[in-house]
Structure 1
């Protein structure tokens, strides 16, 4: 442990309770708009997945009429948050944060939107709540990483509860005391294990939905006077000590400097973010003339956390999305890494399976020293005619240092919504969602989703 314990929970609660839309600069508001439309697009994409369909059937069976379930239907607010968070993560196309090693959008935004709709919040209020939620989730995750991941926890599910609780508290306008109680109630629900990696379980998809629901429950209970531990982050039996062998609470010393939402990345490829650098490096080698048949051996040099994704047995979608060798192979063979290319059927292709067998992943001290400030990857190819080719990426496309443009984001949104939204309506939906902060009440927006 480093960093003195100094009432991190109550300081975070005070920050969230007093945050206003007018205190946000344009870059923060713009980042929040992008995060919102990106998460919405991810929810639409997840509707037709097995995980999405199962979750929607479950939520529909429970009834309710408080908030919109993306793609049609209504439910109670906490159940709408559960459904929308699950579908947003169902294809691993949602946003993330490098230092947090987590996906804030799919946990925070469904909670803020569901409660915002239920309580008639304005677009500015929901925007502010999203900023608060990202701040709470990311600061908590950064404080416990990388020990948190190494112990087997998925920060999207664990710290997502705290982020969603902060966002929900801000929507409800809770004061500092009740916001701290909401954080305590959210934190005590934290959970999410990386064991989904073993057999491609749907539990990964469930994590942010469950976190979004936990945040809604926590804030609404706190509003009713139900209290929670206001030392949930820093306490002797609090989150940091329970979920990490080593932690550093200093991220809470600089809340909003800068706002975490401005540091988040948007994914150009529908797979684990640790695989994006290797895919990008491979595509660069392919653009320079490398062909699959030229390859004798591929070594991907990266940081330790990314090196865990070295599986070559691809039997389902999650296997493909979590496999660094598969991402490299499919990129080199096809020249792209679109959603369709992560269909596990491609792993059986002779050219793809041949590259899977020739690809190894190694963690190096050099790369480890550069993570998480960067997400470095070096792809080294030995060719059949004796050449050695290399390509290296420090900041994969979509990072704050290499952002997606508005046009690129719009193209991604159209791709994600292609099965759920008629072609002629996709651009209009994008524009309506992008104008989140302009609505007098988000009921107007949510009702048309």
Structure 2
């Protein structure tokens, strides 16, 4: 291994350590796989992706890029294509509604990258349910651990879903392709060099953000197939002097990559309860707790204290587009206080034409709080304070956002999200897909997963 201060204190490269995680999951007894986490992630991601397939961005991409013939299904449609195109199209669809899952320690959306890549290759190769479960688990493990070690310094400029996500997608794809140790290691390295996704893209208008997930899923499949063809990757592409960590501002500590006896990443994800940026969830939770304590017309000011990334990514003061509304804590807090919920239909700047609503947005300030910043990224908290014109103060503190492992959604909430996203699908078809996924270990071929074909945003 190349000697560098960015590298781990071990004789093994980061690529070796990530490859070992994939091999560990490949060789686990079936009974030791994280079945609950995998089934939850697969149910949630498929529902989100099938609904997202009806979004204009998804539909436009299908129209423009075309779809060569192949066995990999395009979610939410009756079409199919090759694994590369399916990974791209389904990754975009799974991310476009801002409802895909999150691995908080890595500030990454693994589901919208790993699962499109895994299902595309599984469709193409005729894999069975257990193989798909291993691939998803391995992809989440690589994506989550790498993202967590790249850390907030990387996330400040890079969209981790597009960077670490590509490497996780390669892990899942390589496992389904039956790759051995060397090929897996090369696939991860090749995915790293094809990864990308700039934060600046969605600091103002997020309409292009879903391409990060789609490109990462496709890059992971391409990397795995290229590695299987015999193309090699650099041994120290992650920690070398011109490697991923150095070039992309990573922490270079590699504690997660080297960690042992830690929970499976797929068991530790946040399932999104609201169709917007996850950095806004704790402020929304706080606003919902305070709703009804004071009349809207009596509010003089609203202060949201949270961590730096919450302000930088989701702090748009006044949104100008539909995409902006999903990254505007002031707008989302106003929605929670006004409507008692946050729905996709309400995410439009047209709401600002209501003077009462616009006034709430205008008096909302988002600030960085050192206590919440210290706990980020593992914990995503916020404190919201409402002061009335009479000087009364009302405060709600949310240490952990809804949907996180520390504050999870109930089974009823998970089912409601799934059914709501697939509301246009007959109940019997929804129930059949749910039953097949919950019994994934018995599935003889992934082709028997009845993925809905009627895309509705």
TM exceeding 0.5: yes
User: Comparing 262-271 with 42-51, which one deviates more in the overlay?
Assistant: 42-51
Partner in structure 2 of residue 356 of structure 1 = 361
Q: Supply the distance in 1 between the matched residues of 2:249 and 2:185 (Cα, whole angstroms).
A: 22
Greater mean deviation of Cα atoms: 195-204 or 117-126? 195-204
Alignment match, 2:138: 132
Could you say which residue in structure 1 is the equivalent of 2:54?
Answer: 48
Residue in 2 that maps onto 1:290:
294
Q: Distance in 1 between matches of 2:199 and 2:61?
A: 20
Q: Distance in 2 between matches of 1:328 and 1:393?
A: 14
Instruction: Write the deviation string for residues 204-249 of structure 1: whole angstroms up to 9, x where unpaired.
Output: 1111111010011111111121212232222222211111153321
Structure 1 runs, 4 residues or longer, greater than 4 Å off: 24-27, 446-449
Residue 382 of structure 1 corresponds to 387
Quote how far apart the aligned CAs of 1:342 are.
Answer: 1.8
- Match of 2:449? 445
Q: What is the number of residues matched between the two proteins? A: 445
- Per mean C-alpha deviation after superposition, the further-off stretch among 255-264 and 164-173 is 255-264
Residue of structure 1 aligned with 2:417, choices 409, 412, 418: 412
Deviations 1:398-417 (A, max 9, x none): 11112222321111011112
In structure 2, relative to structure 1, the CA distance for the partners of 1:448 and 1:47 (3 Å cut) is closer
- The Cα RMSD (Å) is 1.9
2:25/2:33 contact within 8 Å kept: no
Where does residue 310 of structure 2 map in the other structure? 306
Specify every segment of 5 or more residues in structure 2 that has no aligned partner in the other structure, as ranges: 1-5
**Are 1:430 and 2:434 an aligned pair?**
yes
Structure 2 counterparts to residues 23-422 of structure 1, below 5 A:
23=29, 28-59=34-65, 61-72=66-77, 73-150=79-156, 152-244=157-249, 246-254=251-259, 257-287=262-292, 289-308=293-312, 309-419=314-424, 421-422=425-426
Q: Mean alpha-carbon deviation: is it higher for 87-96 or for 436-445?
A: 436-445
More divergent stretch after superposition (376-385 vs 3-12): 3-12
Separation (CA, whole Å) in 2 of partners of 1:265 and 1:447: 23
Q: Is residue 88–residue 215 contact of structure 2 (8 Å, CA) maintained in 1?
A: yes
Whole-angstrom CA distance in 1 between matches of 2:51 and 2:58: 9
Task: Summarize the Cα distance change of 1:202–1:436 in structure 2 as closer, same or farther, 3 Å threshold.
Answer: farther
CA distance in 2 between counterparts of 1:97 and 1:270 reads 16
- Structure 1 residues 256 and 189 mapped into 2: Cα distance closer, same or farther (>3 Å)? farther
In structure 1, distance between residues paired with 2:273 and 2:343: 8
- The answer on whether the counterparts of 1:45 and 1:417 sit within 8 Å (CA) in structure 2 is yes
Q: Could you tell me whether the CA contact under 8 Å between 1:333 and 1:351 is conserved in 2?
A: no
